Amino acid sequence: ILYFSFLFVFWGSYLSLEFIFLSLFFFMFVVLVFCLFDLYFLMYFLGFSVCEGALGLSVLVSMIRSHGSDFFGVFNMVQC
């Protein structure tokens, strides 16, 4: 139950997403090495992961600057 309460904070969701990307990268690396395929796809995947990480951090910083917190409960999504 602590895990789900951790995901209401943007930082926790961001860390979970980065862990999923890292796990997927290691899984693809093992599969591609054992099947003797080229590793060029991993370079594209790493580039995508880095861009996603930079975008996530910029959203986190802008959210903290505008709202003062990264807790999802303080946001009212009805307002636009």
What does the alpha-carbon distance between residue 33 and residue 43 come to, in Å, rounded to a whole number?
14
Beta pairing partners, 71: 9
* Mean pLDDT (the chain, rounded): 77
Distant-in-sequence, close-in-space partners of 3: CB < 8 Å, separation ≥ 6: none
Q: Using the CB atoms, write b or e for 70-80: b if 16+ within 10 Å.
A: beeeeeeeeee
Q: Give residue-wise pLDDT tens across range 1-32.
A: 455 555 566 677 778 888 999 999 999 999 98
CA 11 to chain centre: 9
Q: Note if the pTM is more than 0.75.
A: no
